[in-house]
Copies of this chain bind each other. A is one copy, B any other.
């Protein structure tokens, strides 16, 4: 099924306890599209870059099935740039510098053949920009997943609340869930957030895995325990891309299938953090991916015979 991805395509400069990079390719939509490209033959991308953005990267995305006809290239302007420094725990980071550049007045324009997309991933962007995409769709997509962050909660609350009424799944991290709800307990936070509009909520907890809330149920996906988290940049976007592409590929938005989608999302994210930037996501083999699915299975799978249990207790 058709997937439309909206979000940033950008340059990042990163510093982690393991090293630092010069400007490398980043951006939410880049990670989402790359992750999705392992399950879908075609991904529709809406984003914006400056004319400093390398043609080879755009070419690489095209070769992976990304339709870049919705990618605006602004001549004489520069691409969005973010640089950050990670703390030792790799779950927290400081922004060193943000240059909005082309993002400052980004007005997403959907090519006509994007407007019937059945699955829509609204990557982290200013809420009013996410809204502009929704307005251009011919009809409501079968499933809309929205990612956002603390900055929009602090500065664009009303627009964000408006968006939440229109989406199916919200993906945020644990501190954002606490901020959005004003509740410390994630169970209470989820309950409040689900009243804001989304039918499902995914709370990402980095190395502690992810929680899916919806239909009165909770599902917990583990993160793969790794010897080293080399660079967590893009892990959340990779997760989102893995999640929505699994649902689009199977065209099944039941809670049961969302569980599998979250495991696939976690598997994709576990690759992302193994190297700097998008590197690992560009070189994955399908055997590696299938093997990692088996690793995830083994992490939480146990046999429990409930009739035997009754006799034990």
Contacts and interface: CB of A to CB of B under 8 A. Distances in A.
Interface string A287-313: 001100110011110111010011011
Given A218-B225, A218-B299, A299-B220, A184 B310 contact: no
A287 to B, nearest CB: 10
A219 B187 contact: no
A185 interface: yes
A268 B97 CA distance: 47
A302 B301 CA distance: 9
Contact of A208 (B89, B208, B227, B299): B208
| A220, A294, A309 — most chain B CB neighbours (10 Å) | A220
A313 B299 contact: no
Contact of A259 (B205, B294, B302, B312): B302
Given A263-B304, A299-B220, A312-B250, A187 B225 contact: yes
Copies of this polypeptide in the complex: 2
Nearest to A302: B259
A104 interface: no
A185 B260 contact: no
A280 interface: no
Given A219-B300, A304-B263, A227 B290 contact: no
Given A225-B186, A312-B39, A290 B306 contact: yes
Contact of A256 (B209, B228, B302): B302
A299 to B, nearest CB: 5
Contacts of A249: 312
| A209, A294, A313 — most chain B CB neighbours (10 Å) | A313
A313 B289 contact: yes
A236 interface: no
Contact of A300 (B220, B286, B290): B220
A211 B207 CA distance: 12
Given A205-B208, A211-B225, A309-B293, A217 B304 contact: no
B188 A227 contact: yes
Contact of A290 (B186, B188, B313): B313
A158 to B, nearest CB: 29
Interface string A264-298: 00000000000000000000001001100110011
B88 A184 contact: yes
Nearest to A213: B225
A302 B185 contact: no
Contacts of A114: none
A227 B185 contact: yes
A313 B39 contact: yes
Contacts of A302: 219, 256, 259-260, 263
A215 B255 CA distance: 34
7 contacts: A89-B184, A186-B225, A208-B209, A219-B302, A220-B222, A250-B312, A290-B306
In the complex, the 4 A-B pairs of residues with the closest C-beta atoms, listed nearest first: A259-B302, A208-B208, A300-B300, A220-B222
